[in-house]
Structure 1
């Protein structure tokens, strides 16, 4: 189309020049401008046919390097308020039964500073958490044997050194709390055992409350 228009224009200009020679210089200028414009348009049309304009041509973008993974820090073990490492969590119930949240055994630091008492509790055979008390159903127990589901309360008083009357008084003072501990353990499906250091203590407890389970701790 552009080539045809230029040819037609040249023919018309030629006719005019034959009739008016004084227009030769102006006609040459006009024809030159038209030819240049047509050439530019043809070049632009060629780029459009290829689907890209000259100003749209860009160099290939470089691939962004993938950052290397940061080395993971080794986690530090949790610690108790006293600076000791927490014990491992309690293993699941060996019977496979589901327990209420308050019945889940939670290891906690020993209460008080009675070294003899803590040592006797820690040495209970098959103690699942030596060095720790166990919090169950709102109560701190001295030990837990998970294999037999047994909670312990340890008594390390010099019971046999007291006169018989004082012994009975001492046992009667402790019985309400011992009965409560036995009930809390039973509510969560645990047995409850009282550990004492002498046969005398065991016998007086049995006389006052035959339903309680009492064991003489011959290991301490």
Structure 2
């Protein structure tokens, strides 16, 4: 009984082997053995540079020397010319009436002081309007005409010099007087002068 089973197993195994051997022949082509694919190194490619989109253009880098300095012109002038910086200094003594008139100028930035600018000691400074002042408290209207004329001629060169010193530093210049007669005489002698009657003193 055992011998018959073993023999049957051998016969079945032999039949399976024959079937496997003849399978390629029945399909009409010899068995093929697939070769293993060769491994090749992957070529390294350089990244393609990206062009900027037309909508987003790169901002140019600022060039320091090509740009003008930033800031108000007046500030830069004072930085380049330290003599234009206003410096409060004590009033010149001897005429309290004169100093009181100067101190009472509207919006005087340094009441109680004179102001040194560009080598000249001015009587007052209004920073709000950048105006330097020279005050004249002479009793002009009480003088005879010849004295008035002499007074104007003698004071005019100094007033013109003070005006130039002020304007060289970017300031306006005003002359304060106590009478309309004095104002009229100075304006007639030099229309470029700004003359104001000081009705506050």
Contact 1:202 1:215 in 2 (8 A): yes
TM value normalised by structure 2 = 0.62
| 2: CA distance, partners of 1:94 / 1:162 | 46
| 1: CA distance, partners of 2:126 / 2:73 | 14
| 2: CA distance, partners of 1:205 / 1:171 | 7
> Does residue 157 of structure 2 align to residue 179 of structure 1?
no
| 2: CA distance, partners of 1:127 / 1:94 | 23
Q: Which of the numbers 158, 179, 184 marks the counterpart of 2:139?
A: 158
Displacement after TM superposition at 1:96 (Å): 6.1
Structure 1: runs of 5+ lacking an equivalent: 1-92
> Does residue 75 of structure 2 align to residue 104 of structure 1?
no
Q: Secondary structure at the match of 1:214?
A: strand
TM value normalised by structure 1 = 0.56
Displacement after TM superposition at 1:112 (Å): 2.4
Structure 2: runs of 5+ lacking an equivalent: 1-70
Displacement after TM superposition at 1:113 (Å): 1.7
> Aligned-pair RMSD on alpha carbons?
1.5
Q: Secondary structure at the match of 2:94?
A: coil
| 1: CA distance, partners of 2:146 / 2:171 | 33
Q: Pairwise mapping of residues 126-145 of structure 1 onto structure 2 (< 5 A)?
A: 126-145=107-126
Q: Secondary structure at the match of 2:129?
A: coil
Displacement after TM superposition at 1:165 (Å): 1.3
Report how many residues are paired.
128
Q: Name the structure, 1 or 2, with higher relative contact order (CA <8 Å, separation 6+).
A: 2
> Does residue 191 of structure 2 align to residue 213 of structure 1?
no
Q: Encode CA deviations 1:86-122: one digit per residue, 9 max, x unaligned.
A: xxxxxxx997622110000000000122010000000
Contact 2:74 2:170 in 1 (8 A): no
Q: Pairwise mapping of residues 1-220 of structure 1 onto structure 2 (< 5 A)?
A: 97-98=75-76, 99=78, 100-220=81-201
Contact 1:117 1:154 in 2 (8 A): yes
Q: Encode CA deviations 1:109-166: one digit per residue, 9 max, x unaligned.
A: 0012201000000000000000000000000000000000000000000000001111
Task: Tell which structure's C-alpha radius of gyration is larger.
Answer: 2
